[in-house]
A and B are shown apart, each in its own frame.
Chain A
Amino acid sequence: MSSHESSYEPKSATAKWWDERLPLPRLMYDQFVEFPTPRNLNYLWTFGGILTFCLVAQIVTGIVLAMHYVPSGTDAFDSVDRIRRDVNYGWLIQPMHAVGASMFFLAAYIHTFRGLYYGSYRAPREILWILGVFILLAMMATAFMGYSLPWGQMSFWAVTVITNLFSSLDQIIPGFGTSIVEWLWGGYAVSGVTLTRFYSLHYLLPFVIFGLVILHVWALHVCGQNNPTGIEIKTKSDSLPMYPYAVSKDIFGLFVFVIIFAWFLLFLPDYLGHADNFVKADPLVTPPHIVPEWYFLPFYAILRAIPDKLGGVIAMFASIAILAFVPWLDRSPVRSTKYRPIYKWFFWLFVFTCLALGYLGAKPAEGVYVFWARIFTLYYFAHFLIVMPILGSMETPKSLPGSISEAVLGKGSKSTTSSAPAGAPIGAPAAPEDR
């Protein structure tokens, strides 16, 4: 698993005894204490640790909620009410879980855009990146099923609308989509039967995510971390041991994150929710305006931008799936956008596009909103399919520093490898100014 020599020295007799039987302390020491981290990491690199915190927080609060929650069509709504009003500290723990889901997505999106900006998906980190895409998908499935559990009006109708997406497969094989939907529902409509199975899966999926996270961190520790320059660690002076340097930075970042989390939790616990979800699910009345949770809005906007039912569904899933192909779509000779004067603008245009789609996803699907949703959907895909490959091969990047320490300490520092060594991966290609 490690890309560096183990420097762990068991100090006591017990430690030595363990080391010969189950070298777990050695593994932890090599991977999380001595592990070489680039010395120029900025605060965007603290989100991995923040995400780990979020996952653990969701699992801990979720297990507590599961002790009081009743997964049945008749009792679920009242049981959540009881958790919030009667259960000791339920008023605190239930919103921790609900607000926690939002904070989790906030962190995951920042983490992903960080990767897109600094080219962290590029060779040799493709598997690391794709595992991240799978984690995002699993998080979405978990949050979607979790949102059904309070069994309010929004819960019920979100489940109805989203599961019905699969009925669009009827357009390919008549009857196929309907049978998938009835299979998901366990009936001819969404009901308590559906709720109970979603609860089972909502409990399962976070542990699947946990497994994926272990693989994600493993892949990270094989390649090592990327960094703002996109240049690999070349000499020892480019790196610092993870403890205490990266760890203390992670902890500071986490504290700031937790303060924002606590502010929402204590002052605006229901701000990110929807008033209709305080009305019990009614299969006979659809609320006038159905919106998903904020973190699904851009995808919802893409779904509705396409006038064809099946087309909309395909576009929505494609908007996530396309991320998995980014390592091969980006054809630039350098990793980091920092050295890409033209792409930089397109990157921020892409960020703006995602925010705009989020805004449009919350608006009714009519008139000018649909028009703009189409324009931004078009750019969303064009960014990946046109800008990334074409601009990547045309643009002349700015000249890269010779090494990480040169970037941090300036030229004339002790860095000895000023011209890229042969066989260096992208990020440090044959100096681009020579092209």
Chain B
Amino acid sequence: MTADVEDPERRDVLVIAASAFAAVGAASLIWPFIDQMNPDAGALALASTEIDLSPISEGQAITVMWRGKPVFIRHRTPTEVEEAKTVPVDDLPDPVARNENNPGSPATDQNRTLPGHEKWLVMIGICTHLGCIPKGQSLSDNKGEFGGWFCPCHGSHYDTSGRIRKGPAPRNLDVPPYSFVSDSTIRIG
């Protein structure tokens, strides 16, 4: 009978199965070797920080660290708030607020801040172009053509709401997730 005859392809299934197992095994081992480079548990643990705003007087700004990044906190003057409010959203290079507390909303000044706390502007102080720290935190800094911040690396100008107005940066400065725990204290993260 034919069943007795040696079929040279009879063991192909073993080769295919073995190769498939080896391939899947090797592929699943690659992931740990890639993922080890991602931010580790220690970096994730530093995820939230509380800041007392009471010492910051009007017109002043401070920089704090959150997740290894600088966060700009500016106590804006009424004129600065007014300036930021009058700009039509249609004139902005990036029309999205980039506020994690208010995702996807249009980039009005109101949407860049928290309701009832419009004078406080809290943003990650990293230029959205290639990551330099814009100037504008201290009083003597060059604040750019729109009175907010100016990134010296490749010349990005941000307004008093931290929105990109001129230069190569593609996005407004990001607003991190934060909330007011009391009238004068915020928690970032």
Contact = CB atoms under 8 A, between A and B. Distances in A.
A219 to B, nearest CB: 30
Nearest to B137: A284
Given A183-B38, A188-B43, A191-B68, A161 B152 contact: no
Nearest to A162: B130
B131 A161 contact: yes
A189 to B, nearest CB: 4
B133 A285 contact: yes
Contacts of B126: 189
A182 B67 CA distance: 12
* Interface band, chain A: 20 to 34
Interface in B103-132: 126, 129-132
B154 interface: yes
Given A188-B43, A365-B155, A286 B133 contact: yes
A191 B40 CA distance: 13
Given A187-B68, A189-B69, A286 B152 contact: yes
A144 interface: no
Nearest to B142: A288
Given A288-B152, A309-B170, A164 B37 contact: no
Contact of A183 (B37, B43, B129): B37
A244 interface: no
Nearest to B126: A189
Contacts of A183: 34, 37-38
Interface centre among A285, A289, A309 (most CB of B within 10 A): A309
Interface in A285-308: 285-286, 288-290, 304, 307
Contact of B168 (A160, A165, A184, A309): A309
Contacts of A365: 154-155
Interface residues of B, number: 24
B131 A164 contact: yes
A284 B70 contact: yes
A184 B39 CA distance: 9
Interface in B164-184: 168, 170
A186 B152 contact: no
B65 to A, nearest CB: 8
A211 interface: no
A165 to B, nearest CB: 7
A290 B39 CA distance: 27
A177 B127 CA distance: 15
Contact of B39 (A164, A186, A197): A186
B77 to A, nearest CB: 24
Interface in B30-83: 34, 37-40, 43, 63, 67-70
B18 interface: no
A171 B170 contact: yes
B43 A309 contact: no
A171 B168 CA distance: 14
Nearest to A182: B39
B87 interface: no
Contacts of A366: 155
A193 B42 CA distance: 11
Contact of B68 (A171, A188, A304): A188
Contacts of A160: 130-132
A76 B68 CA distance: 18
B43 A187 contact: yes
Interface in A174-190: 182-189
A189 B168 CA distance: 21
B20 interface: no
Interface in A351-384: 364-366
A292 B155 CA distance: 17
Given A186-B37, A186-B40, A197-B37, A286 B130 contact: no
14 contacts: A160-B131, A164-B130, A165-B130, A167-B130, A182-B38, A183-B38, A185-B39, A186-B39, A188-B67, A193-B40, A283-B133, A286-B151, A309-B168, A309-B170
Given A161-B153, A283-B133, A289-B152, 8 more contacts: A161-B132, A186-B38, A189-B68, A193-B40, A197-B37, A286-B132, A288-B152, A307-B168
